[in-house]
């Protein structure tokens, strides 16, 4: 997240998966060993930033994401050409549930990732992801709108916010219209490097039944 | 600033100068030596947090603040009873210019602080503050609306943002409707303790003529 509260830049398109300027929000991850391993590069830093990136992948059995995180296509799927931002072998290695209003067949990729489109909302996506994860954790990947919807429903147990020394001016925010956040979440564990300040939000109230 | 972007809590009144919950945003300052010195207490921590608190007071010759930072009174001044949140001897020790729409005589306090009400807007306040500071720096104390107005006008040279591991849910934001912030300011120097992540915004464009 930028200092001014944006987790992605504006004007997402095929050239700007994270919106214009949004890539800067992720600079802190690019030097870490986990990121470089995933992308077939050697070396890379460990330490606080690296631990948080690897922690975000460790023990995850399924991922949920919104339509914009999956791709730039809006409205109904014209064809099956779009297979995600991640090329032939996405880095997930498990089932990924993509929330959209427009159905589409499952998409099995190399490396163990299958994209499943879910049109029935966040509860349905979570139920399917929990089943697929078989006891492992479910990660809510993003974007902003999906994370906000899950936060509002109190369905996130543990959230990692990385604040970076960047101003974006425009883009996507998570923290709007979340007035009762303090009744559901407490914030803890501020740790930081020169590239990012990491804050963890942990749910205090019980999830809804 | 809280993780969710608030620099003061909601529902400011005489019992809650920083709004409900807003005091938590300042916890990181209370243990510092500068804060404790100002309030007549001994000891106190130095280090990153302490340096930033003392830096915020060092070389300042005048302060500008909004009406809400000066007090809870809204509308015209009924009488001269309200003399600020800070008691008989405010910690400023210099001229403080209070932006409001309602005139009021100057208010000379113990310890070298004089409150001057300014009804002619931010440019007038800045001109008077610069004159009073006589070459020293002018500090824009707050609150959110005044800082936003000065940022939008490009009239702040250097800004310190302290992000704390707190969620507030409601309150006052600085970073809204500041779409062209990245053309005027760059963000740098992330340093952090367990209590606050400190980010500095520095103006890159020239101030308006």
Closest CB from B167, B168, B197 relative to A190: B197
Chain A residues with CB-CB distance to B199 below 8 A: 3, 163, 165, 197
**What's the whole-number mean pLDDT along residues A68-73?**
90
Mean pLDDT check: name the lowest of A169-183, A195-209, B75-89, B162-176.
A195-209
The answer to the question of residue B38 being in a domain is yes
The answer to the question of residue A82 being in a domain is no
Taking CA atoms, A123 is separated from A53, A61, A175, B8, in Å, by 27, 17, 21, 34
* pTM for the model: 0.90
List the CATH number of the domain containing B197: 3.40.430.10
The answer to whether residue A70 scores a pLDDT higher than 80 is yes
Domain limits for position B117: 6-75+90-203
DSSP state of A111: G
The answer to the question of residue A64 being in a domain is yes
If one counts the domains in chain B, the total is 1
The answer to the question of residue A152 being in a domain is yes
Higher-scoring residue by pLDDT: B43, A130: A130
The answer to the question of residue B47 being in a domain is yes
Q: Quick check: A192 contacting B, CB < 8 Å? A: yes
Mean pLDDT check: name the lowest of A28-32, A181-185, B39-43, B146-150.
B39-43
The answer to the question of residue A80 being in a domain is no
pLDDT at B160: 93
pLDDT at A208: 54
| Strand, helix or coil for residue A68 | helix
The answer to the question of residue B1 being in a domain is no
pLDDT at A185: 95
Question: Which of A190, A195, A200 is the best mutation test for B, with the most CBs of B within 10 A?
Answer: A190
Nearest-angstrom CA–CA distance, B145 and B175: 10
Cβ separation of B165 and A187 shorter than 8 Å?
yes
Across all residues in chain B, what is the average pLDDT?
90
pLDDT at A40: 72
ipTM: 0.88
Give ∠ CA A67-A70-A75 in degrees, rounded to 5. 40
| Strand, helix or coil for residue A56 | coil
Cβ separation of B197 and A195 shorter than 8 Å?
no
Taking CA atoms, B49 is separated from A117, A120, B42, B134, B196, in Å, by 48, 48, 17, 28, 8
The answer to the question of residue A81 being in a domain is no
Look-up of token digits 């997402």:
A12
Cβ separation of B192 and A187 shorter than 8 Å?
no
């Amino acid at each position: 997240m930028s200092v001014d509260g944006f987790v992605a830049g504006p004007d997402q398109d095929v050239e700007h998966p994270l919106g214009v300027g949004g890539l800067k929000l992720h600079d802190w991850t690019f030097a870490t060993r986990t990121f470089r391993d995933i992308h077939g590069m050697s070396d890379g830093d460990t330490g606080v930033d690296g631990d948080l990136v690897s922690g975000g992948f460790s023990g995850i059995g399924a991922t949920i994401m919104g339509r914009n995180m999956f791709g730039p296509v809006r409205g109904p799927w014209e064809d099956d050409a779009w297979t995600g931002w991640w090329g032939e072998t996405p880095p997930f290695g498990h089932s990924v549930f993509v929330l959209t209003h427009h159905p589409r067949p499952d998409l099995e990729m190399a490396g163990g990732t299958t994209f499943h489109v879910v049109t029935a909302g966040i509860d349905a996506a979570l139920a399917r992801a929990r089943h697929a994860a078989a006891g492992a954790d479910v990660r809510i990947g993003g974007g902003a709108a999906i994370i906000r919807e899950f936060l509002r429903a109190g369905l996130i147990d543990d959230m990692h916010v990385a604040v970076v020394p960047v101003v974006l001016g425009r883009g996507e925010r998570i923290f709007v219209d979340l007035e009762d956040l303090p009744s559901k979440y407490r914030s803890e564990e501020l740790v930081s490097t020169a590239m990012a300040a990491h804050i963890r939000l942990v749910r205090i109230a019980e999830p809804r039944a």
